[in-house]
Structure 1
Amino acid sequence: MNKTLLGMVIIGVSATPVMAAEFTCQLENKKYVSVIVDPGKTPQYRYGTLAKPEITLPLNEKGARNIFVGQGHFIAGESLYIRFQNGPYSYLLYQGEGRGWAFKGLAVYKNNKLINKKECQNWNSFDLYDILNYQIRTDPALELYDSPYSFDPNSNE
């Protein structure tokens, strides 16, 4: 009995609860992109100034089903993103690097084609790999052979 209780206490002490987190950076256009994740709640995406967001997603409960996390591994690099899909648009907070490139910031796609990207001004503002601690669905686009989201955003120009 004492051994079982001791084992339960050690497991309980060593398990760190996942807390709410905010991944925010100022972009090269002086606007901010933020993703807020909180266990048990729908992640939120915000883009705009600190005083007035221009885009906030998801728009409704239905939009909560269109939030995904993706991870790409490729020769000499890897990437990670959280994607908020709204109709034909996908807004990705993205972090990745490979041979000859590195990018952390916002990538916007329309119909799976990159239409805009803005790099974070302060690279140390967040580490997106922490988002893997949250129970966000894996992006079904990763099942595609040529997923547009898992590679260097510079390659889609």
Structure 2
Amino acid sequence: MRLSTIIFATMFHGYAQLAGAVESHCEQDESIIFNCRTGKKIVSVCASKTISDSSGYLQYRFGPKGAPELILPAAKIPPNADIQANTLTFAGGGGAYIRFKQEPYGYVVYTALGRGWGDKAGIAVEKNNGLQVNLNCKKPVLSELGPDFFDKAGLSKDQIGFELP
């Protein structure tokens, strides 16, 4: 097992127990890839049960329970260049993120764990690749973000990079 897989598995131990008890924008027949509350709003990354670069879909959904204000991409289509992902490496930790693009905006869902500061998760809203807003997740956080999922989904590697807010 790769070190990055161990880090991501350790970060969010207990995922299966939490998945059924958490409010999400994902539908019953979808997988929760990422989910948390940022106050009164929920951010969810939902995927079809089967996903690859040629079939299935991945969507970012944000807004109040039962009424997402933003869904990217709007249609349930296979992942394309507007959805990119990458991992983060730190001394004593690591992280992962997915960037959903809708020019000039980017919506970056992230999780990370580092020695000295613990775990972080949230959504960073960017405009022209510059941070506009960062919303921190409240616990519990559900996350399947990481290299295994990125490979399985056929996501393009993000070339812009991402600095934790």
If the length of structure 1 is used for normalisation, what is the TM-score? 0.69
2:85·2:158 contact (CA, 8 Å) conserved in 1? no
* Among 52, 67, 91, the residue aligned to 2:67: 52
Aligned counterpart for 1:24 among listed residues 12, 25, 35: 35
CA contact (8 A) 1:63 1:86 kept: no
Distance change (3 Å), C-alpha of 1:94 and 1:54: same
Aligned equivalent of 2:93, options 56, 63, 77: 77
Distance in 2 (alpha carbons) for counterparts of 1:21 and 1:67: 17
Change (3 A) 1:136 1:82: farther
- CA shift, 1:109, in A, is 1.2
Tell me the percent identity. Answer: 32
Paired residues for 1:6-155 under 5 Å:
20-22=30-32, 23-27=34-38, 29-38=39-48, 39=51, 40-60=55-75, 64-101=80-117, 102-129=119-146, 131-132=149-150, 134-141=152-159, 147=161, 149=162, 151-153=163-165
Contact 1:107 1:116 in 2 (8 A): yes
> Corresponding residue for 2:24?
none
Mapped partners of 2:87, 2:154: distance in 1 = 12
Q: Partner letter of residue 140 of structure 1?
A: D
Distance 2:110 2:141 in 1: 14
TM (normalized to structure 2)? 0.66
Structure 1 residues 63 and 37 mapped into 2: Cα distance closer, same or farther (>3 Å)?
A: closer
- Higher alpha-carbon deviation: 80-89 or 62-71: 62-71
Alpha-carbon distance change, 127 to 140 in structure 1, aligned in 2, over 3 angstroms: closer
Indicate the structure whose relative CO is greater, using CA pairs within 8 Å and at least 6 residues apart. Answer: 2
Q: What runs of 5+ residues in structure 1 fail to find an aligned partner?
A: 1-18
Cα RMSD (Å): 2.6
**Cα distance in structure 2, aligned partners of 1:88 and 1:103:** 25
- CA distance change for structure 1 residues 114 and 64 in 2, over 3 Å: closer, same or farther? same
Larger radius of gyration: 1
How many Å separate the matches in 1 of 2:47 and 2:67? 20
Are the aligned partners of 2:58 and 2:78 in contact in 1 as well (CA < 8 Å)?
no
Q: Which has the higher strand share?
A: 2
CA contact (8 A) 2:109 2:123 kept: yes
Q: Which runs of 5+ in 2 are unaligned?
A: 1-28
